[in-house]
Chains A and B, each alone.
Chain A
């Protein structure tokens, strides 16, 4: 079945550092890929998405490129802020677009 593997956290960075959170997936067919973010005490919010190979999703300075050849969708940001501290989830949807499969989540802590 479909699955998502994320790098384990927590990831601790200083403000303005470069961020990469790795995400790889296993899926049949051509899934859509998503990154969601969860701030403390809140539900998940969509951060960005890509629906086909080589698409780049971007939002709030975050980017991720759908790489079919490496089955990856790594999240990057050039300069993190303290306000980016949150849990980040990689997810995919298969044929039925709304049944998302989530990775385990990666905690990001940014220190000032």
Chain B
């Protein structure tokens, strides 16, 4: 049972480069989301999706795009990386019912130089 799978685990980018962080879940969860984790700031919501074809912005969406073409996949795109996007990124999924726990991937550590 894979749960939530994120790739890659580590990535180094130069300022201005683009890349896509991959996230897939095999639990048939309707809800998926992306968080970034920064020291002293906890986790902040970037984007989320309540089902295929539906996405919305979270607390810190600038500089990131998402799409949800299937229930299983929810990629996060950085169009032009900036040093401020150096962070650890977590994908999480859950059933959509109120109070359902989030299941997290193991994270992607991104460094932008």
Contacts and interface: CB of A to CB of B under 8 A. Distances in A.
A93 interface: yes
B45 A51 contact: no
Chain A residues touching B, majority SS:
strand
Interface string B13-55: 0000000000000000001010100001111110010100000
Contacts of A101: 45
A104 B43 CA distance: 7
Contacts of B58: 99
Interface of A: 4, 32, 34, 36, 41-46, 49, 51, 89, 93, 97-105
B90 to A, nearest CB: 6
A81 to B, nearest CB: 23
B104 interface: yes
Nearest to B94: A98
Contact of B105 (A43, A97, A98): A43
A97 B106 contact: no
Contact of B42 (A43, A45, A103): A103
A98 B104 contact: no
A105 B42 contact: yes
A100 B106 contact: no
Contact of A98 (B4, B33, B42): B33
A43 B107 CA distance: 6
Nearest to A103: B42
B83 interface: no
B106 A41 contact: yes
B104 A44 contact: yes
A100 B34 CA distance: 11
Contacts of B84: none
